Chain A
């Protein structure tokens, strides 16, 4: 193997970093409601009136937060919200889909809100659909769901393998925006899993009960498990559609080094979005999750800075098809 075309060694470990980020975001979503409950306890000066279980929560949260802050009732306000829209040390950051849907339903542009969506839009233009692979709290559960389906397959239980047209989600996006505009209500947030997850975790922890959104989310999990692997993100999710459109000309792309490739097709098998790295077909759907880089046994995948994918480079040079072709010629 030619040593010069080995990819940068850290790319192979990005998948671990991605799981770390996903877990951190999910833990944050669980921590924030508890922090809010703790804040309300502090604000009411009611330690003696709390239940024993609430006292435990109070003590735990005090232990966790007291090294970093002085006044919980005020200082814990620094981080609020979820991935749909959040407040981060005074800077508001919102999902581009929220911005688009709100503009459609309100038929006006509220500039502070538009500005809060600019950072994600900018990052999406550079990194493509990275939100779907690196941050989305629903992805965390969906990928565990995929693992569950692979686990079930070991015992001979059939799980869904159907494929649909990935363009369905653009239709869902267009219809969702259209209905939001006609009805004057941001209805797209009802079918967008990260928004649902952020809300429902808060409802479940701080308000004492899950809402209707959880039913929808469980249905999507079952859809993924029974009918189509990762089907919701691939074929339905309106946010994924918007991110794909924004990331059409993304700069960071995964590239196959054809000299190292041995056509094992592990990258195709591991790809959550059903793409085709083996034939250099990433397209706008790729979320740069780097799972294919991590699994590649011959280090044939790397990052590339370019606004288009490479043309199909043919069979890998370490594979049988290429060697046969070499001998013939």
Chain B
């Protein structure tokens, strides 16, 4: 029920493609999406594999509920990350995961490397490996448009030039503007010579209890128009910009500042007024948080999102939504993660201003607010030209290379999202322990801080653990996190009963979430992760913003507490 029932195993070395029956025990323990991805990655990948070698498997898994008329259209991609050298995972919603399930598959596991640029075409049982030599080098949008023309009614995910060039933060794009952005898994697909995956399906999904499901739909649909989702419905993610800036939690100037003076110029309200021309939804969702902006004439972009307004707008000091939108589109076309793209640009600007990299190396001056220079810089990175090659290997590598560790803001090699860690203590802890590097979506911990009220350190850490477990469930069932205010573990347990026919208690679900988190940790430890990798950037402890910095002793206490609550030993190793 609701699972499509098969996982596709693709071996590019031998060009063999085999559907494998989904094991019901895997479903019960690892649920779907992220749970499947982490479990399969842990089981099939060899220790110490190079992220860009043909031995690093590329795994794509759909949420267990994807394809139903509820906001649950998620797929996740999993591999060893070229950006962090630990667990790489990224998620996107839209039409791709549902279509893959309609074709009969809950996921795809890709091994090996194709001899020539190729794309995988899936139409129910018919699966082919087509040449993509004519698409190689093309930007993401051109690729999607061309493949949609070639295969009418199909859904496409693809990489851009940055993925082909194995840039460590290359992303994967579907639906003209949805991205599995973080941790550089576009580069893994590129290293396999796979430009795109195209899918068209004609099969059906069912639910266990149809009548109860219809009742549940009425509830979910009602809440999709309630105040609980209003911000996303009206403004999309940029609805958060003004509030976060006011809370002095919007990082600027490569994290030397915590707010901007020009917030009304980059706010969600301004964007809605001036740029947005169309609202779109992912499959099964009435919220329609996807705002399409018109840059000019025939130039559109999905976004900018809160995160690109942070990464390009605040972090690179660009007080103009249209220009931010343009950079967002620029990153999309190259196929680089727009959070990392903005953050690494700000890092490079900081290096330039401090005289660590020079005009002669770049070929141009790189300063805050200079859109054209940032574009030139990102192009160098995406095509690995000159100094761009150093940045293409990731911020961690670049920081070592330029002996500028103290300037680079990242955890495990991943630049954080746009939530200031010195203002938001729970967020800081969550950045540190997140299995994929500094990420805001493993626990959404900024909400703990922004909600206000006095919480003890232990209460904060406990809530982070709880939220992490819950968020794993969202990413495994495929439920959109924007529904978090009305879909919690209780509702998820109910949905499990109705959709899958499982009798499961909310606490049991959270326990499964915890097991998945621990399995991800085991994977990371196997790949060499130590407690040192859970450290935050030194600047968070040394440089004040708004009179605040983190206390290292308190932070270490929180870290130990987190390990303890997870049942790991005091160095963070699962027992």
A and B bind: no
Interface residues of B (CB under 8 A from A): none
